[in-house]
Amino acid sequence: MTTTRAEKVRDAAYRMRHHILDMGEVQGQGYVGQALGVADLLAVTYVDQLRFRADDPHWPERDRFLLSTGHYAIALYAALAEAGTVPVTELETYGSDGSRLPMSGMASYTPGMEISGGSLGHGLTVAVGMALGLRLKGREQRVFNFLSDGELDEGSTWEAAMGAAHHQLGLLTAMVDMNALQADGPTENVLGIEPAEEKWEAAGWFTQRVDGNDIDALLAAFDAAAEQARPVGRPSVILCDTRIGRGVPLLETREKAHFMRIDEDEWQLCREQLSEGYEGAR
Amino acid sequence: MTTATKRLTTSAMIASFADPGQRTTSAPFGHALAALAERDDRIVGLTADLGKYTDMHVFAQAHPTRFFQLGMAEQLLFGAAAGMAEVGLVPFASTYSVFAARRAYDFLCLDIAEPNLNVNIVGGLPGLTTGYGPSHQATEDVAIFRGMPNLTIVDPCDSVDIEQAVPQLAAAEGPTYLRLLRGKVPTVLDEYDYTFRLGKAAVLRDGADVVFVSSGLMTMRALQAAERLARHKVDVAVVHTPTIKPFDAGTVLAEVDSDRLVVTLENHTVVGGLFETVASAVVSRGLGKRVVPIALPDEFLAAGALPTLHERYGLATDTVVTKVLGELDR
């Protein structure tokens, strides 16, 4: 029996969620909720879509993946561990002094981390430059930028959105984590961004919106984006509605918080719930 | 009937600060960049709707496929420049200094300076080089940028400095900021035994009574003032420090450490620019030496004609001469 693409992604996402919980426990808190929410999205990217060499993060022919939301580093470390770029045994150093895995993702610390995120609204501007530069050099490499719905507040994101469409950067794909939550509360109360699809379409992007925790839907959306990716063409955005804490009912149902507090005795329960859910779905 | 005196006008966004009849060179930055790109295919040019006003249009005409118009979007301009450097290109990105320093600082700082990328920021209208008012007068750009790690800051005097600086900026590993002089730029330094060397100051002339330490267009004024002061039997040395950071304290302090009157001259607010750079070097060396600043005041400046404003705020050659004679009690 062959393993389907979706199964490969689902298994990877499951292991990544365990990595995320393990790293979260080291710190006792953190952006665990968001990371669990985007595990499926990053699993699709790293297992199914991105062209890279795990043992050679500077391989010149690689596609670029830019993590704009530096605080989601915990999720990307899980993906890099799953990919083999970062040893799984190193994850326990997350956020510790001297670690290559700081709380906020920085290129100078971690293999496979292309840019230093953290100050939001930067990633898409850098992605535009990379896509322009790679095209000038005659390369057909794709550039993926991961950003969050909160980053759609930033004017610079829309400068970049217009710039990408104007320059017809058809190999640029943005994926937006629409988790509907930002630092001060629900996105709709902080600065309403809906209707988000219409905004991206108006900016000139090939726009799709999917359930960001539905792996089949994600694969279909990424395939559709890949299908029309070409050096001169429309840039592509995939708006992914995700659920904070996805895969761990205890956290899915907890009051939504940007920086989720998890008690010491809850981590094991989280792991058990994650495993039960995964086994139950098989 | 009375004859009304015609008042000088602001005239245009970019006023010339060249003296009437002075030798000038047209668009030295644009031509130098276009020439460099002939022999270095990593060079690209970017602008944010100010190509014509930063001489980037010369490069754009010479190398249209390597020129990128980013629109009136300075955060995108510098973020994209970072992305291009990340894939191995050497971008020169131009806008006005006010927009680079005030509006896009976070992008310069985190996307360019922190990863130490070879992005060359080209800022037009540095200091008081337009009569347009505070929206366009970058009187505090050096003060803003000096605190940014990794960033090299260059304040050229004339077309010679700019032409010679461009290849050196591209060759320097990390990011640079060039205080651009554009249009018809005075040509001055070819009359001296001088070559621009990134990171180095140069003694342009010796003098027994006074030491001028200057950068940017104020080196031109310093040289003019030195000539004028000679008629008053005041012998003035001029040390030109086109690189503000890293600062060549060795060359400058060798001149400062004497019995002569020391005067700094800069096209920038007295806060956080050349004067404070020299002052901190003097104090760090333990020299108990007075330094007299000639700089713009710590205030938002008026709009008006550039000669009027340079006179009012003390950058004109006349006001420099008067100030020095006053300091010497002559």
Q: Tell me which residues of chain A have a pLDDT lower than 50.
A: none
Q: How many beta carbons lie within 10 A of that of residue A127, not counting itself?
A: 32
Asked if B104 and B80 touch (Cβ cutoff 8 Å), the reply is: no
Residues A88-110 pLDDT 10s: 999 999 999 999 999 999 999 99
Name which of B27, B69, B11 is nearest B166 in CA terms: B27
Q: Tens digits of per-residue pLDDT, A222-278? A: 999 999 999 999 999 999 999 999 999 999 988 777 778 889 999 999 999 999 999
The type of residue at B66 is R
Q: Tell me which chain A residues have a C-beta less than 8 angstroms from the C-beta of B82.
A: 125-126, 129
pLDDT profile of chain B (330 residues), mean per 10: 67 75 96 98 98 98 98 98 98 98 98 98 97 96 98 98 98 98 96 98 98 98 98 98 98 98 98 98 96 98 95 97 95
CA distance A114 to chain B (A): 9
Cα–Cα distance for residue pair A70/B236, rounded to 1 Å: 54
Q: CB distance A156–B76 less than 8 Å?
A: yes
The predicted structure's pLDDT at residue B12: 64
Residues of A in Cβ contact (< 8 Å) with B118? none
> Which residues 79-118 on chain A approach chain B with CB closer than 8 angstroms?
107-108, 114-116, 118
**Is residue B91 helix, strand or coil?**
strand
Contact A115 B115 (CB under 8 A): yes
**C-alpha distance from A126 to closest chain B C-alpha (Å):** 4
Contact flag A166-B75 (C-beta cutoff 8 Å): no
Query: How high is the pLDDT of residue B2?
Result: 53
Answer yes or no: do B110 and A130 touch at CB < 8 A. Answer: no
Amino acid at the residue A116: S
Amino acid, res. A211:
D
Cβ count near B39 (within 10 Å): 8
Interchain proximity A155–B75, CB inside 8 Å = yes
Q: If you measure CA to CA, which chain A residue comes closest to B46?
A: A129
A156 close contact with B: CB closer than 8 A: yes
Residue A146 is given by DSSP the state E
How many Å apart are CA B282 and CA A239, to the nearest integer?
A: 57
Long-range pairs for A254-263: beta carbons < 8 A, 24 or more residues apart? A254/A33, A256/A33, A256/A181, A256/A186, A257/A33, A258/A31, A258/A181, A258/A182, A258/A183, A258/A184, A259/A29, A259/A30, A259/A31, A260/A29, A260/A30, A260/A31, A260/A32, A260/A33, A261/A29, A262/A24, A262/A25, A262/A28, A262/A29, A262/A32
The full set of domain ranges for chain A reads: 5-281
Picking from A126, A132, A133, the nearest residue to B111 by CB comes out as: A126
pLDDT for A147 equals 96
Report the largest interatomic distance among the alpha carbons of chain B, rounded to a whole angstrom.
Answer: 70
- CATH architecture assigned to A5-281: 3-Layer(aba) Sandwich (3.40)
CA–CA min distance B53, chain A (Å): 21
CA B4 to chain centre: 37
Residues of A in contact with B44 (CB under 8 A): 133, 136
A125 interaction partners in chain B (CB closer than 8 Å)? 75-76, 78-80, 82-83, 107, 111
Q: Show the DSSP H helices in chain A as ranges.
A: 5-27, 32-43, 73-83, 123-136, 155-166, 187-190, 196-202, 215-227, 249-252, 267-281
CA distance A278 to A275: 5
CB contact set of A242 (below 8 Å; sequence gap of 6+): A37, A38, A40, A41, A177, A178, A179, A212, A213
| Domain ranges for chain B | 24-186, 199-327
Residues B312 and B310: their CA atoms lie apart, in Å, by: 6
Nearest to A168 by CA among A226, A237, A236, A67: A236
Strands B261-269, B210-214: pairing kind: parallel
> How far apart are alpha carbons B66 and B42 in whole angstroms?
9
Give, for B106, the enclosing helix (H) or strand (E).
Answer: helix B105-107
Omega of the bond prior to B134 within 30 degrees of 0, cis? no
- Residue from A103, A134, A81, A130 nearest A26 by CA: A103
Provide the shortest C-alpha distance from residue B78 to chain A (in Å): 8
CATH 3.40.50.920 fits B199-327, yes or no: yes
Residues listed for chain B: 330
pLDDT at residue number A99:
96
Distance of alpha carbon B93 from alpha carbon B123, whole angstroms: 9
What's the gap in Å between the CA of A234 and the closest CA on chain B? 17
CA A105 to chain centre: 12
Residues of A in contact with B84 (CB under 8 A): 129-130, 132-133
Element (H, E) at B245: strand B243-245
- CATH fold of B24-186 reads Rossmann fold (3.40.50)
Question: Chain A partners of B81 at a C-beta cutoff of 8 Å?
Answer: 129
Output the pLDDT for position A256. Answer: 75
Say if residue B307 is preceded by a cis peptide, omega within 30 of 0.
Answer: no
- SS3 for B156? coil
Residues whose CB is less than 8 angstroms from the CB of residue A113 and which lie 6 or more positions away in sequence, other chains included = A67, A73, A76, A80, A105, A106, A107
| A-chain residue closest to B45, CA distance | A133
The encoded tokens of residue B241 equal 């420090």
